[in-house]
Homo-oligomer: A and B are copies of this chain.
Amino acid sequence: MIIDIHGHVSAPQGLYAWKANQLAARGAHGRSPLKFTDEQLENALRGAPGVFGRAHLDQLDKHGTDLQLISPRPFQLMPSEKPSKIVHWWHEECHNVIAENVRLHPDRFKGVAALPLAAGDPVESALPELERCVKKLGFVGCIFNTDPYENSGIEPPALSERYWYPFYEKLCELDIPAMIHSNSSHSMRTNYSTNFILEETIAVVTLCNSDVFKDFPNLKIIVPHGGGAVPYQLGRYQAATWARPKGERFLDRMRKLWYDCVLYNPESVEFLIKIVGADHIMFGTECPGTGSHLNPETGRSCDDVRPSIENIEWLSAGDKKKILEDNAKQVFKLKV
Protein backbone atom coordinates (compact mmCIF):
# COMPACT_ATOMS: atom_id res chain seq x y z
CA MET A 1 0.00 0.00 0.00
CA ILE A 2 1.28 3.45 -0.96
CA ILE A 3 0.55 6.25 1.48
CA ASP A 4 1.30 9.82 0.52
CA ILE A 5 1.35 11.92 3.68
CA HIS A 6 1.67 15.28 1.98
CA GLY A 7 -1.25 16.30 -0.21
CA HIS A 8 -3.41 19.41 -0.28
CA VAL A 9 -7.06 19.69 -1.03
CA SER A 10 -8.39 20.34 -4.51
CA ALA A 11 -11.47 22.44 -4.01
CA PRO A 12 -14.08 24.15 -6.18
CA GLN A 13 -13.23 27.67 -7.36
CA GLY A 14 -16.08 28.91 -5.24
CA LEU A 15 -13.96 28.27 -2.18
CA TYR A 16 -11.31 30.69 -3.35
CA ALA A 17 -13.82 33.20 -4.66
CA TRP A 18 -15.30 33.12 -1.16
CA LYS A 19 -11.86 33.80 0.25
CA ALA A 20 -11.36 36.75 -2.09
CA ASN A 21 -14.69 38.08 -0.93
CA GLN A 22 -13.81 37.71 2.73
CA LEU A 23 -10.47 39.44 2.22
CA ALA A 24 -12.17 42.30 0.45
CA ALA A 25 -14.91 42.62 3.03
CA ARG A 26 -12.57 42.12 6.01
CA GLY A 27 -15.39 40.28 7.73
CA ALA A 28 -17.98 42.98 7.15
CA HIS A 29 -20.33 40.61 5.39
CA GLY A 30 -20.27 38.23 8.31
CA ARG A 31 -19.58 34.60 7.55
CA SER A 32 -21.59 34.00 4.44
CA PRO A 33 -22.66 30.37 4.15
CA LEU A 34 -20.60 28.15 1.87
CA LYS A 35 -21.92 24.89 0.52
CA PHE A 36 -20.82 22.83 -2.43
CA THR A 37 -22.65 20.12 -4.27
CA ASP A 38 -21.04 16.73 -4.64
CA GLU A 39 -20.77 17.45 -8.32
CA GLN A 40 -18.81 20.59 -7.71
CA LEU A 41 -16.54 18.78 -5.30
CA GLU A 42 -15.96 15.92 -7.72
CA ASN A 43 -15.30 18.32 -10.57
CA ALA A 44 -12.59 19.95 -8.54
CA LEU A 45 -11.00 16.57 -7.83
CA ARG A 46 -11.29 15.49 -11.44
CA GLY A 47 -9.75 18.65 -12.82
CA ALA A 48 -12.69 20.19 -14.56
CA PRO A 49 -11.43 23.33 -16.24
CA GLY A 50 -10.61 25.94 -13.64
CA VAL A 51 -7.80 27.41 -11.70
CA PHE A 52 -6.57 24.81 -9.25
CA GLY A 53 -8.15 21.53 -10.13
CA ARG A 54 -5.35 19.61 -11.80
CA ALA A 55 -6.92 16.20 -12.16
CA HIS A 56 -6.07 15.29 -8.63
CA LEU A 57 -7.54 11.81 -8.62
CA ASP A 58 -6.18 10.95 -12.04
CA GLN A 59 -2.70 11.79 -10.92
CA LEU A 60 -2.98 9.69 -7.79
CA ASP A 61 -4.16 6.81 -9.97
CA LYS A 62 -1.33 7.29 -12.41
CA HIS A 63 1.27 7.40 -9.61
CA GLY A 64 -0.25 4.44 -7.85
CA THR A 65 -0.96 6.28 -4.65
CA ASP A 66 -3.50 4.40 -2.58
CA LEU A 67 -4.08 6.85 0.22
CA GLN A 68 -3.28 10.52 0.49
CA LEU A 69 -3.46 12.74 3.54
CA ILE A 70 -4.84 16.11 2.50
CA SER A 71 -4.64 19.43 4.27
CA PRO A 72 -5.56 22.97 3.16
CA ARG A 73 -3.34 24.58 0.49
CA PRO A 74 -0.70 26.22 2.71
CA PHE A 75 0.17 29.24 0.58
CA GLN A 76 -3.51 30.24 0.61
CA LEU A 77 -3.92 30.21 4.39
CA MET A 78 -3.31 33.95 4.98
CA PRO A 79 -2.72 33.91 8.76
CA SER A 80 -1.33 37.44 8.68
CA GLU A 81 -4.56 38.96 7.46
CA LYS A 82 -6.82 40.93 9.76
CA PRO A 83 -9.22 40.60 11.47
CA SER A 84 -8.38 37.23 12.95
CA LYS A 85 -11.90 36.00 12.50
CA ILE A 86 -11.54 35.81 8.71
CA VAL A 87 -8.46 33.65 9.25
CA HIS A 88 -10.49 31.33 11.43
CA TRP A 89 -13.45 31.24 9.07
CA TRP A 90 -11.20 30.43 6.17
CA HIS A 91 -9.45 27.54 7.92
CA GLU A 92 -12.77 26.16 9.00
CA GLU A 93 -14.20 26.27 5.50
CA CYS A 94 -11.12 24.56 4.12
CA HIS A 95 -11.46 21.84 6.73
CA ASN A 96 -15.10 21.39 5.85
CA VAL A 97 -14.26 20.88 2.20
CA ILE A 98 -11.60 18.35 3.18
CA ALA A 99 -14.13 16.51 5.32
CA GLU A 100 -16.44 16.41 2.31
CA ASN A 101 -13.70 15.03 0.10
CA VAL A 102 -12.96 12.33 2.66
CA ARG A 103 -16.68 11.52 2.79
CA LEU A 104 -16.76 11.14 -0.99
CA HIS A 105 -13.50 9.11 -1.11
CA PRO A 106 -13.03 7.49 2.26
CA ASP A 107 -10.44 5.01 0.98
CA ARG A 108 -8.48 7.57 -0.95
CA PHE A 109 -8.20 10.49 1.47
CA LYS A 110 -7.64 11.21 5.14
CA GLY A 111 -8.02 14.70 6.51
CA VAL A 112 -5.23 16.82 7.99
CA ALA A 113 -6.02 20.14 9.62
CA ALA A 114 -4.15 23.43 9.40
CA LEU A 115 -3.63 25.19 12.72
CA PRO A 116 -5.69 28.42 12.44
CA LEU A 117 -3.12 30.60 14.14
CA ALA A 118 -3.59 34.26 13.24
CA ALA A 119 -0.51 36.47 13.51
CA GLY A 120 -0.13 38.00 16.95
CA ASP A 121 -2.69 35.79 18.63
CA PRO A 122 -1.87 33.34 21.41
CA VAL A 123 -1.48 29.76 20.23
CA GLU A 124 -4.37 28.75 22.44
CA SER A 125 -6.73 30.62 20.14
CA ALA A 126 -6.12 27.99 17.46
CA LEU A 127 -6.65 24.87 19.51
CA PRO A 128 -10.47 24.55 19.52
CA GLU A 129 -10.60 24.22 15.74
CA LEU A 130 -7.75 21.69 15.86
CA GLU A 131 -9.77 19.69 18.33
CA ARG A 132 -12.91 19.92 16.20
CA CYS A 133 -11.00 18.55 13.21
CA VAL A 134 -9.66 15.58 15.10
CA LYS A 135 -12.64 14.75 17.24
CA LYS A 136 -15.53 15.74 15.01
CA LEU A 137 -14.13 15.42 11.50
CA GLY A 138 -11.82 12.47 12.12
CA PHE A 139 -8.65 14.15 10.91
CA VAL A 140 -5.39 12.35 11.60
CA GLY A 141 -2.87 15.17 11.94
CA CYS A 142 -2.19 18.80 11.29
CA ILE A 143 0.12 21.24 9.60
CA PHE A 144 1.25 24.48 11.19
CA ASN A 145 3.08 27.63 10.16
CA THR A 146 6.12 28.58 12.20
CA ASP A 147 5.76 32.22 11.10
CA PRO A 148 2.15 33.45 11.16
CA TYR A 149 3.42 36.92 10.15
CA GLU A 150 4.25 35.36 6.77
CA ASN A 151 7.77 36.73 6.41
CA SER A 152 6.82 40.36 6.89
CA GLY A 153 9.72 41.53 9.07
CA ILE A 154 8.08 40.83 12.43
CA GLU A 155 9.86 38.07 14.32
CA PRO A 156 7.61 35.24 15.50
CA PRO A 157 8.45 33.28 18.64
CA ALA A 158 11.01 30.54 18.03
CA LEU A 159 9.75 26.97 18.24
CA SER A 160 11.76 26.61 21.43
CA GLU A 161 9.81 29.30 23.23
CA ARG A 162 7.08 28.76 25.78
CA TYR A 163 4.64 30.42 23.38
CA TRP A 164 4.27 27.12 21.52
CA TYR A 165 3.98 24.80 24.51
CA PRO A 166 0.17 24.73 24.77
CA PHE A 167 0.14 23.55 21.15
CA TYR A 168 2.68 20.82 21.87
CA GLU A 169 0.63 19.73 24.84
CA LYS A 170 -2.48 19.51 22.73
CA LEU A 171 -0.64 17.48 20.06
CA CYS A 172 0.49 15.00 22.70
CA GLU A 173 -2.96 14.87 24.23
CA LEU A 174 -4.59 14.21 20.85
CA ASP A 175 -1.67 11.96 19.90
CA ILE A 176 -1.37 13.36 16.40
CA PRO A 177 1.65 14.50 14.42
CA ALA A 178 2.15 18.05 13.20
CA MET A 179 3.85 18.95 9.96
CA ILE A 180 5.67 22.26 9.65
CA HIS A 181 4.47 24.19 6.62
CA SER A 182 4.74 27.92 6.18
CA ASN A 183 2.18 29.85 4.16
CA SER A 184 2.71 32.88 1.98
CA SER A 185 5.57 35.39 2.13
CA HIS A 186 5.34 39.17 2.15
CA SER A 187 8.98 39.49 1.21
CA MET A 188 9.80 40.89 -2.19
CA ARG A 189 13.04 38.88 -2.20
CA THR A 190 11.70 35.51 -1.18
CA ASN A 191 8.55 33.99 -2.52
CA TYR A 192 6.40 31.55 -0.58
CA SER A 193 7.96 28.50 -2.18
CA THR A 194 11.51 29.35 -1.19
CA ASN A 195 10.22 30.51 2.17
CA PHE A 196 8.93 26.98 2.82
CA ILE A 197 12.53 25.80 2.66
CA LEU A 198 13.86 28.62 4.84
CA GLU A 199 11.26 28.12 7.55
CA GLU A 200 11.89 24.38 7.60
CA THR A 201 15.60 24.98 7.94
CA ILE A 202 15.10 27.37 10.85
CA ALA A 203 12.64 24.98 12.46
CA VAL A 204 14.91 21.94 12.38
CA VAL A 205 17.90 23.86 13.71
CA THR A 206 15.82 25.47 16.45
CA LEU A 207 14.22 22.22 17.59
CA CYS A 208 17.48 20.25 17.55
CA ASN A 209 19.17 22.94 19.68
CA SER A 210 16.28 23.18 22.15
CA ASP A 211 14.74 21.31 25.05
CA VAL A 212 11.46 20.73 23.27
CA PHE A 213 11.95 17.00 22.93
CA LYS A 214 13.09 16.72 26.50
CA ASP A 215 9.91 18.44 27.59
CA PHE A 216 7.68 16.54 25.14
CA PRO A 217 9.28 13.15 24.46
CA ASN A 218 6.20 11.95 22.60
CA LEU A 219 5.86 14.92 20.33
CA LYS A 220 5.69 14.00 16.65
CA ILE A 221 6.95 16.71 14.32
CA ILE A 222 7.27 16.20 10.57
CA VAL A 223 9.46 18.36 8.36
CA PRO A 224 8.40 18.34 4.74
CA HIS A 225 10.40 18.91 1.56
CA GLY A 226 13.16 16.68 2.83
CA GLY A 227 13.94 18.91 5.82
CA GLY A 228 14.74 22.16 4.04
CA ALA A 229 18.47 22.73 3.83
CA VAL A 230 19.46 20.76 6.89
CA PRO A 231 20.35 17.28 5.62
CA TYR A 232 22.53 18.83 2.94
CA GLN A 233 24.12 21.28 5.37
CA LEU A 234 24.45 18.63 8.07
CA GLY A 235 28.22 18.98 8.49
CA ARG A 236 27.92 22.58 9.64
CA TYR A 237 25.62 21.61 12.50
CA GLN A 238 27.17 18.28 13.27
CA ALA A 239 30.63 19.86 13.55
CA ALA A 240 29.51 21.92 16.52
CA THR A 241 28.34 18.84 18.39
CA TRP A 242 31.00 16.23 17.63
CA ALA A 243 32.38 16.84 21.09
CA ARG A 244 29.12 15.69 22.67
CA PRO A 245 28.52 12.07 23.62
CA LYS A 246 26.81 9.86 21.10
CA GLY A 247 23.07 10.28 21.14
CA GLU A 248 23.32 13.98 21.74
CA ARG A 249 24.92 15.07 18.52
CA PHE A 250 23.00 17.07 15.99
CA LEU A 251 22.19 14.13 13.76
CA ASP A 252 20.94 12.14 16.71
CA ARG A 253 18.56 14.93 17.52
CA MET A 254 17.50 15.29 13.91
CA ARG A 255 16.29 11.73 14.18
CA LYS A 256 13.72 12.74 16.76
CA LEU A 257 11.93 14.41 13.87
CA TRP A 258 10.27 12.92 10.78
CA TYR A 259 10.82 13.98 7.19
CA ASP A 260 8.90 13.53 4.00
CA CYS A 261 10.51 13.12 0.61
CA VAL A 262 8.82 15.93 -1.31
CA LEU A 263 11.98 16.52 -3.37
CA TYR A 264 11.54 16.54 -7.09
CA ASN A 265 14.79 15.01 -8.25
CA PRO A 266 15.90 11.43 -7.54
CA GLU A 267 19.38 12.39 -6.33
CA SER A 268 17.96 14.43 -3.48
CA VAL A 269 15.54 11.74 -2.39
CA GLU A 270 18.38 9.25 -2.28
CA PHE A 271 20.58 11.73 -0.43
CA LEU A 272 17.90 12.33 2.19
CA ILE A 273 17.53 8.62 2.88
CA LYS A 274 21.28 8.21 3.08
CA ILE A 275 21.65 10.97 5.65
CA VAL A 276 18.57 10.54 7.82
CA GLY A 277 17.77 6.87 7.39
CA ALA A 278 14.61 5.09 6.33
CA ASP A 279 13.24 4.96 9.84
CA HIS A 280 12.47 8.66 9.84
CA ILE A 281 11.20 9.27 6.36
CA MET A 282 7.71 9.10 4.94
CA PHE A 283 6.53 9.12 1.39
CA GLY A 284 5.05 12.43 0.24
CA THR A 285 4.45 14.17 -3.06
CA GLU A 286 2.47 17.40 -2.53
CA CYS A 287 0.67 16.24 -5.69
CA PRO A 288 -0.90 18.09 -7.42
CA GLY A 289 1.16 21.18 -6.85
CA THR A 290 4.52 22.79 -7.57
CA GLY A 291 5.87 19.46 -8.76
CA SER A 292 3.13 18.67 -11.24
CA HIS A 293 5.13 19.94 -14.20
CA LEU A 294 6.26 17.29 -16.63
CA ASN A 295 9.91 16.41 -16.92
CA PRO A 296 10.35 16.29 -20.70
CA GLU A 297 13.29 13.93 -20.41
CA THR A 298 11.32 11.29 -18.54
CA GLY A 299 7.84 12.23 -19.66
CA ARG A 300 6.80 11.89 -16.07
CA SER A 301 5.40 14.41 -13.65
CA CYS A 302 8.04 15.64 -11.22
CA ASP A 303 5.84 14.84 -8.27
CA ASP A 304 5.72 11.20 -9.22
CA VAL A 305 8.25 10.61 -6.46
CA ARG A 306 7.77 6.89 -5.91
CA PRO A 307 10.29 5.69 -8.52
CA SER A 308 12.94 7.84 -6.85
CA ILE A 309 12.57 5.59 -3.84
CA GLU A 310 11.93 2.29 -5.52
CA ASN A 311 14.89 2.68 -7.86
CA ILE A 312 17.47 3.04 -5.11
CA GLU A 313 19.48 -0.13 -5.47
CA TRP A 314 21.06 -0.16 -2.05
CA LEU A 315 17.79 0.36 -0.19
CA SER A 316 16.19 -2.81 1.15
CA ALA A 317 12.63 -3.73 0.35
CA GLY A 318 11.82 -3.44 4.02
CA ASP A 319 13.14 0.07 4.17
CA LYS A 320 11.24 1.00 1.05
CA LYS A 321 8.05 -0.30 2.65
CA LYS A 322 8.75 1.68 5.79
CA ILE A 323 8.99 4.84 3.76
CA LEU A 324 6.08 4.14 1.50
CA GLU A 325 3.71 2.74 4.05
CA ASP A 326 4.72 1.61 7.52
CA ASN A 327 6.09 4.81 8.99
CA ALA A 328 2.99 6.74 8.00
CA LYS A 329 0.73 4.11 9.51
CA GLN A 330 2.61 4.30 12.74
CA VAL A 331 2.99 8.06 13.02
CA PHE A 332 -0.58 8.87 11.97
CA LYS A 333 -2.00 5.73 13.64
CA LEU A 334 -3.77 4.89 10.41
CA LYS A 335 -6.14 2.00 10.45
CA VAL A 336 -6.03 0.91 6.86
**A residues adjacent to B (C-beta < 8 A):** 13-21, 23-28, 32, 50-52, 73, 75-76, 78, 82-83, 153-156, 158, 183-194, 197-198, 201-202, 205-206, 225-226, 228-229, 231-236, 238-240, 242-243, 263-265, 267-268, 271, 274-275, 290-296, 302-303
Complex Cα distance, B235 from A8, in Å, reads 19
Q: Which residues of B contact A296 (CB under 8 A)?
A: 242-243
Least distance between A151 CB and chain B CB atoms (Å):
9
Query: What are 6 A-B pairs with beta-carbon distances under 8 A?
Result: A17-B52, A25-B184, A83-B188, A156-B189, A228-B229, A239-B290
Q: Which residues of B contact A16 (CB under 8 A)?
A: 13, 16-17, 20-21
Complex Cα distance, B200 from A228, in Å, reads 13
Q: Which residues of B contact A267 (CB under 8 A)?
A: 234, 271, 274-275
Contact (Cβ within 8 A) A197 B233:
yes
Least distance between A47 CB and chain B CB atoms (Å):
14
* Contacting residue for A78 out of B24, B202, B293, CB 8 A: B24
Contact (Cβ within 8 A) A197 B201:
yes
Least distance between A171 CB and chain B CB atoms (Å):
20
Contact (Cβ within 8 A) A232 B24:
no
Contact (Cβ within 8 A) A229 B25:
no
Contact (Cβ within 8 A) A14 B202:
no
Q: Which residues of B contact A158 (CB under 8 A)?
A: 188-189
Least distance between A98 CB and chain B CB atoms (Å):
17
Complex Cα distance, B188 from A327, in Å, reads 34
Complex Cα distance, B124 from A18, in Å, reads 33
Q: Which residues of B contact A271 (CB under 8 A)?
A: 232, 267-268, 271
Contact (Cβ within 8 A) A189 B24:
no
Contact (Cβ within 8 A) A243 B293:
yes
Contact (Cβ within 8 A) B265 A234:
yes
* Contacting residue for A186 out of B26, B188, B263, B290, CB 8 A: B26
Q: Which residues of B contact A51 (CB under 8 A)?
A: 14, 17-18, 21, 32
Contact (Cβ within 8 A) A236 B291:
yes
Complex Cα distance, B25 from A184, in Å, reads 6
* Contacting residue for A239 out of B15, B234, B293, CB 8 A: B293
Q: Which residues of B contact A225 (CB under 8 A)?
A: 233, 236
User: Closest residue to A35 on the B side, CB-wise?
Assistant: B49
Contact (Cβ within 8 A) A242 B17:
no
* Contacting residue for A184 out of B26, B155, B275, CB 8 A: B26
Contact (Cβ within 8 A) A236 B290:
yes
Complex Cα distance, B302 from A169, in Å, reads 38
User: Closest residue to A231 on the B side, CB-wise?
Assistant: B232
Least distance between A229 CB and chain B CB atoms (Å):
3
Complex Cα distance, B263 from A275, in Å, reads 14
Contact (Cβ within 8 A) B192 A76:
no
